[in-house]
Chain A
Amino acid sequence: MSEFIVIQVGQCGNQIGSALWPKILQEYDVSLKPKPHNKPLSNQESFSSFFNVPPTKTDNSYNSLQELVNNKVKARAVCIDMEDGVVARFRNGVLKGLFEERCMVTNYPGSGNNWAEGFCEHGPQYQEKILKSLRHSIERCDSLHGFLMLFSTGGGTGSGLGTFVLNILSEFYPKIERFVSCVYATGTEDVITSPYNNALATHQILENATCVFPVENRCLLEIVARKHKNGINEINMFNATDDMNSSIVDMLLHLTSGSRFSGTLNFDMNDINTNMVPYPKMNFISTGFNHLVKSSLIAKNKSKQLKEEMFLASCNRQNQLIQIDPLSPKSLLLSSTLIGRGDYTITDLQTYIDKLQSKAKFTAWSKKSIKVGLCNVPPNGQTVALFSLFNTTAMYSLFEHLYKQYNSLYRKRAHIHHYTKINNFDIDFFEESKESLQDMMQKYTELENQSPLNIPRLTPQ
């Protein structure tokens, strides 16, 4: 079974982590309460994807968290933070005992919302310790499939140290795929230097990640607001972060579902790179699925209509975690993936491919760049779900946004001294990151304006 190591860096990364692990347990029917439930256990065969089970235990069936802890089952996670607060949840919170002390790297007192502090100072300083934790986790894997990295790009630790860890991974483990899910604090920027941090981090991500599944805060906020309005979840605004994180977590679970559960048209995480990235570095991928599922309403419903609704929702711009519209007439789709979870058939997927191909716009070559997959296991509490991935030239707008914000500060060289005062910080990082963003914008524009090449096929000899 394919295994993943989750690497959560910084406050945001660890918060997502603290939402992720309970959901994973829930998906495997492991109850968090000390008392075991009596529900039949399902799908625990792929339990080792996220957890290291000691070889002494032969049958994988666990009822409760307590049982996991007693059997020395450990989460495949590396938690890194330069503050203590969030990681302490894993040490002392509900999930106590599930995480290994060796795989937690913490320090006091943070990276001051400064990418340079994370990347140039804490990075080299903690490299040995981080590598040790990584080695410890990797040694406990039989078939390591990939690293899942979670961090935000706006701050100091997640952004700086996160991208530093990414560099380490690509240097020391070049053959293992590096999936990055990074949160862009667009729309809620509360840190004055976050445009710099965003740009500097994005440059590193572009250089080193296999696939990137970016998330924008403003999209999460909208989704939470809509959930609230629809009465899906009675939340107060204090809990908004929890709800926002749960959308990211759902996305991660969908993303890895194909590698963890079987299906009649199997798809693995490493298929995503091949199918979705037509050119090097064009690896920012938008993810979509229906966020507004009232589980009570559809628990028993399997109708065709529901399945189709799931498809339409997953292509809808309101359900993307990036503020783009995959079906917009102004942008072109480079590649797409449709993954049906639950009761989908080939005929369903064929119909959806037809619909997608007639609705969206494509480049001269990308009309058939479609990957379909079927996964037998639907998400927890749902009977069917459809998850889609899009690589589209609309991603231009994300880079444009980052570039504009960055440039408005950099033009006047504002706040640069916070960065240059850090030892080992190279002033070239600024220019490089700027060029990197410009380069991406140019690449997407070029693809949009690409005229079809009509080179005749080879003549037979």
Chain B
Amino acid sequence: MSVITLNFGQCGNQIGQTLYTTLEEDITLKTTNSQHYCQSLAKWFNVDSKGRWKARSILVDTESKVIKDIKKSWFENIIVNPVGGSANNWAYGYVENSRLVVGQVLNLVRKELENCDFVTSFLNFYSLSGGTGSGVGSYVIEKLRNEYPKNTIVNCAVLPYVKGEISTQAYNCLLNLSTLYSIGDCTVLFENERLLHLSKYSLNLNAVNYSNINSIISQQVASIFQPLGTVTTSSLLQNLISHPQFKFLQIKTEPNISNQNSAFETPQQCTALMNNLLRQSRFDHAQTNKYSHFKVISKALIHRGLEKVPEYELKSFKETRDLVKWLPQEESVRVYSVPERFCYYPNHLSVLFNDNNILTPLNAIVDDAWTLFTHRAYLHHYSKYGLDEEYLLNSFQIMENVLNNYRMI
């Protein structure tokens, strides 16, 4: 069972590159020709006639500079239409630049599909704030859904810093989320703010670079989507998305150790890791309370390692009071255990969860976009491409509905 990744824009392409580095590292650490090794190799890579690994991945950008920096030989499917970027404008990416690449992308997807025995899902990577990832991504994923209505589409999207990194980020996020929310099977959100926090305090980095953040994202994604024995990616996600109104997922992992320090770390036991995970969650609870009570719709714990997670830890993970009442507990909490190491970690825990914590960042984005919108700032860049006020109001309405659903649980 294979996964095809599509990477859009600078952020998406950088993540794509680090993701395959992480995967390669993880796979090569496995015993060759064990079942797990074969499964994960087939999931992510094509092996060509000369024995070289080729990523089942398609890189899309509208600027040649970023792609140029990608040196690894895994990537064969690179589509660059060097029009000088999408100007941090979702509308430009969605309306104009996407048309230049969409045909090529779909052709390459078809070619990749022919190389696989069985494809279950597409993983898309992009940042929400810019023009190419957000805008071109939206259009291409819409078309992808049309072509492949039955496959699972997982969108991995990176949220921008709340303080701002692009003037039009709020509009771009809003437009992307409102377009793709109904199309994807689920959207895994990464908050730049939280990742920066994690790099500063868990990895003890004084100066954080994008490579640090990208490698955290890659590890999180890899730890979730590496094969889970007999459980497929789609069924893992199906269990988490129990209702089409609640499609946002987030990931937390333990341990987080920077590469340079890994040699000096003592292997942590599962109990300690579980505690650390809880500590990460507590930070969130304090933040969410502003909007509504903390509620979890569903969550899944994935343990990779030879040691067993103690029963009592699992019990406390399963029996929390924060679970929604309208789902039976065994439906909303799942535990998966894989007796294989993840990368160089003897034990690795990751949690994939669907809860109303996501309200905090999303609400802030809608707020920012609304403030810009009511003051009519930056609107002319969007109306230039035919996105009038009506279009934006419609997007606001979609997002308000989505947020409200999360508020009401």
What residues of chain A have their CB less than 8 Å away from a CB belonging to chain B? Answer: 1-2, 45, 142-143, 145, 259, 261-266, 268-271, 273-280, 335, 345-348, 350, 353-354, 357, 363-372, 450, 453, 455, 457-461
Contact = CB atoms under 8 A, between A and B. Distances in A.
Interface string B270-290: 000000000000000000000
26 contacts: A1-B82, A143-B82, A143-B84, A265-B10, A268-B85, A269-B84, A271-B85, A271-B166, A277-B381, A279-B377, A335-B167, A346-B196, A346-B208, A346-B209, A346-B213, A347-B206, A353-B164, A364-B371, A365-B371, A365-B375, A368-B368, A370-B163, A371-B167, A457-B370, A457-B396, A460-B401
Contacts of B84: 2, 143, 145, 259, 268-270
B164 A262 contact: no
Given A143-B84, A274-B87, A371-B88, A264 B372 contact: no
Query: DSSP class of B's interface residues: helix, strand, loop or mixed?
Result: helix
B235 interface: no
B260 interface: no
Nearest to B90: A274
Contact of B375 (A1, A145, A350, A364): A364
A347 B207 contact: yes
Which residue, A357, A365, A366, has most C-beta atoms of chain B within 10 A? A365
A363 B209 CA distance: 31
Which residue, B207, B375, B405, has most C-beta atoms of chain A within 10 A? B375
Instruction: Report the 9 A-B pairs with minimum CB-CB distance, sorted nearest first.
Output: A460-B404, A368-B164, A268-B85, A270-B87, A369-B167, A345-B207, A262-B65, A275-B167, A370-B164
Interface in B155-187: 161, 163-170
Q: How big is chain B's contact interface, by range?
A: 35 or more
A105 B131 CA distance: 38
A350 B196 contact: yes
A259 B63 CA distance: 9
Nearest to A145: B84
B39 interface: no
Given A457-B366, A458-B396, A365 B372 contact: yes
B68 A262 contact: yes
Contact of B377 (A278, A348, A353, A354): A278
A276 B87 CA distance: 11
Contact of A266 (B63, B207, B371): B63
B400 A459 contact: yes
Given A259-B84, A347-B206, A369 B68 contact: no
A457 B368 CA distance: 11
Contact of B209 (A264, A278, A460): A264
Nearest to B171: A274
Interface in B75-109: 82-85, 87-89, 92
Given A262-B65, A350-B196, 4 more contacts: A266-B65, A271-B85, A348-B207, A457-B366
A365 B167 contact: no
B380 interface: yes
Nearest to A45: B68
A143 B80 CA distance: 12
A453 B374 contact: yes
Contacts of A142: 82
A216 to B, nearest CB: 25
A346 B206 CA distance: 10
B378 interface: yes
B46 to A, nearest CB: 28
Nearest to B160: A368
B167 A274 contact: yes
A458 B66 contact: no
Nearest to B372: A365
Contacts of B85: 266, 268, 270-271
B327 interface: no
